[in-house]
Amino acid sequence: MACTLNRDDPFGGLPPKHCLDGGYKPIFTDKLQLEEALLFTKTTLEDNLKANLNLVRVSAPLFVTRASGFNDNLNGVERPATFEPRDFPGIHLEVPFSLAKWKRWALHYYKVEAGKGIVTDFRGLRCDDDVDFTHSLYVDQFDWEKHIKPEDRNVEYLKNTVKSIYKALYDTEQAVCKKYGFDAVLPEELVFATSDDMIKEHPHATPKQRENILCEKYKAVFFMGIGGMKEDGQLRHDGRAPDYDDWTTERPDGGFGLNGDLLVWNPILKQSFEISSMGIRVNPEVLLKQLDLCHVPERKEFVWHQMLLDGTLPQTIGGGIGQSRTCQFLLRACHIGEVQHGWYNPKEVEILKKDGISLLGLGEFEADPHAKSS
């Protein structure tokens, strides 16, 4: 998601002003009912994803070794949460940012045939992420990956997969709204757009402004072509690591990248809202090209990269669907902390509480869980 956090504003992580001062009323005020709604939403979405994409649920690691190269490098500058086992000094274990690489290995490990895939309930930590009303240090997402044939590495296959994911989201919203008695907002049809075209049409707009323009107009958009640089050396839209999504392959429309973000218009926040980041993954040739473009050719010596380069790992498509992010949207919450046990700026938490916005669990407290709470 293109970031809008203003680091010069001491309260830059708060929801938009129209949500404050009584402008927002949560649907769920009973915490147990909220927990039931969270479980229903997540279970329904996962079941729809498994059915639409032909996925099987598998378990996932909480940490990986640094030397394996299995961690997702995101933009390449983020610091992973790291620890050493007590009895094994010098061994560095990392909490993954996501399972982008692990999932591809898992398809090989579980011997998943082409046309089928896996989904897992991923929990991770991102200590360098923005902490605001849509971002948390704690990451929970449905990480999925599907084995595809080499000839499936094309735009048509990408679009068909995206449509299946959107149908899962659409049907989940219909079920949630029917169960809890509020109106659905997602359109039946998803619109596809490209970062290349939007840069040409709105050259002076920020990435977030381009997303807002699209989502306000169409309500649900797959924004294709994320990662890589423009001719002036600036990001084409947003950053992507070089070793999972393919963001360099030229498409028939003249743009670049077989990946993208699934975005919707959030009626509570009145802005674009990312649900999922996904794409067709790199093959050996694209991997080497993107490692060079990002000036990290040494990564090809890692175990995971060697397995991809020697053909051990299959061709895949995959992505992550934020669980708390999706629940924030579907349950009409203005702050992600309303649907997730996290930690947030204590000064902002106090403002939220005065406005009647209660965060879940210890995210409501600065340090002392015995502190008074509204």
Q: Which residues are catalytic?
A: 72, 126, 141, 261, 274, 277
| CB-based burial, 17-52: b 16+ in 10 Å, e otherwise | eebbeeebebebeeeeebeebbebbbebbbebbbeb
The phi, psi pair for 197, rounded to 5°, reads: -65, -40
Q: Which residues of 121-150 are buried (b: 16+ CB within 10 A; e: fewer)?
A: ebebbbeebbbbbbbbbbbbbbbbbbbbee
Q: Residue 356 carries which DSSP code?
A: T
| 74, 241 Cβ separation under 8 angstroms | yes
Cβ(130)–Cβ(3) below 8 Å: yes
Rounded to 5°, angle at Cα 98 from 358 and 365: 20
3-class SS of residue 220: strand
